[in-house]
Amino acid sequence: MDHWLLITGISQLLTLRGSTARRGASLSKLGIVKDGAVLVRNGRIAAAGTRREVEASSESRNAEKLDVAGRVVLPGFVDSHTHLIHAASRAEEYELKIQGVSYEEIAQKGGGILNSVKKLRAATKDALKHRARAALEAFVSHGTTTVEAKSGYGLDTASELRILTLQKELREGQPLDIVSTFLGAHVVPEEFRRKADGAERYTTMVIEKMLPEVAGQNLAEFCDVFCDRGAFTRLEAKRILVEGKRHGLVPRLHAEQLSRKRAAQLGVELGAASCDHLEQINSSDISALAGSRTAATLLPGCDFHLGWRNYAPARKLIDAGAIVALATDYNPGTSPTVSMPMILSLACTQLRMTPAEAIAAATINGAYALRREKIVGSIETGKQADLAVFEVEDYREIPYYFGEHRCWMTLKRGEIIYMQD
């Protein structure tokens, strides 16, 4: 028996229709329908349009009804960059940073990513799972329906495989789609740092030991490298990503966050799904990204949390025609937030993106960055009924009410997975 659900009472329905990546002026076209309705059949969208159009069908008459009483409905957020699995917060470092100790000084003293590696290796599977599940519930409560999740706090073969296996297990028993990325090349782990050619040897281990296992066990779709000062060089990144590609893993990169390593241009050359961060890019990087099919994913939560003021040049990227996406970069060191609405607020005030641009960047372009733009990221016939309902009258109020919880309901494949009390 088919299950039909009719959603009405939508003051603004942001359809984002088109199912393609948005660039330039198209980034601000949300495909808004006033007094909208959505008809869902077995978790997929059967119709989306004005209430009059959608209600006219016979299926609508017999469908289960959901009236959202004048609220705004948009596609569930697609968060294309998270470090979902980690053992603990790094609040102690947060305090040090506020007191003036730099992120890189902390990293050199075994803090930063290596601190999270130590904690993850010592954590039990149950503890990691428990923490990740709580985070997933929080993502849902902020309107997110798909998350990417990276390994990268294991940094030895067993621990990296453990994280990716856990991500696979987390798909069961909770509603979100979790898209896995192998980030064995996050930083060089402590035990390799002591050796003279440690980075070289670790890179070889990623290539010869980790990648074949990750691909062989089908544990990830993407391969990521943190290519930056204190992490991996452009050459090491290229070796890993090329090898990842040979194993069927699509490349993506942490690029030009702390220093410019021409990682973004490497990403473009390799046909990466996305290059993320981009705080330090110059005009030639902007042209390269704009002329490519690689998404430029911006993570303003990092600069905000670290108290930095070197936000990525979003306006220039958009105006040049790059495919700009937004993500939380949920992680314990630089962006401990699951809130895409907060990221939208930062995108508006700090990146000078309009509310419409920010919403498109966090939905359809996020989906594109995960190569899922035909499945999620917009509200149109045939797509998964992944929806976020916000307690606002106008979509611009979603970033406008910063730091407030305005997500009223979240639906995944037509099922209500969150509702505000």
Name the residues that contact Zn ion, by CB under 5 A. 329
Look at residue 12 and give its three-state secondary structure: strand
For the CB of residue 383, give the shortest distance to Zn ion in the complex, in Å. Answer: 27
Whichever of 285 and 329 has its CB closer to Zn ion, that residue is 329
Whichever of 228 and 329 has its CB closer to Zn ion, that residue is 329
Place of tokens 């960055």: 369
For the CB of residue 192, give the shortest distance to Zn ion in the complex, in Å. Answer: 21
For the CB of residue 152, give the shortest distance to Zn ion in the complex, in Å. Answer: 8
Whichever of 227 and 317 has its CB closer to Zn ion, that residue is 227
Place of tokens 């000062």: 229
Residue pair 54/38 in contact (Cβ under 8 Å)? The answer is yes
Whichever of 93 and 329 has its CB closer to Zn ion, that residue is 329
DSSP output for 152-175: -S--SHHHHHHHHHHHHHHTTTS-
Query: Would you tell me how many other CB atoms lie within 10 Å of the CB of residue 285?
Result: 26
Residue pair 294/268 in contact (Cβ under 8 Å)? The answer is yes
DSSP output for 300-311: HHHHHHHT----
For the CB of residue 260, give the shortest distance to Zn ion in the complex, in Å. Answer: 17
Whichever of 48 and 351 has its CB closer to Zn ion, that residue is 351
The total number of residues shown for the chain amounts to 421
For the CB of residue 373, give the shortest distance to Zn ion in the complex, in Å. Answer: 21
For the CB of residue 146, give the shortest distance to Zn ion in the complex, in Å. Answer: 17
Strands 407-412 and 415-419, bridge-based pairing: antiparallel
Whichever of 351 and 388 has its CB closer to Zn ion, that residue is 351
Determine the residue type at 187: V
Residue number of the CB closest to Zn ion reads: 329
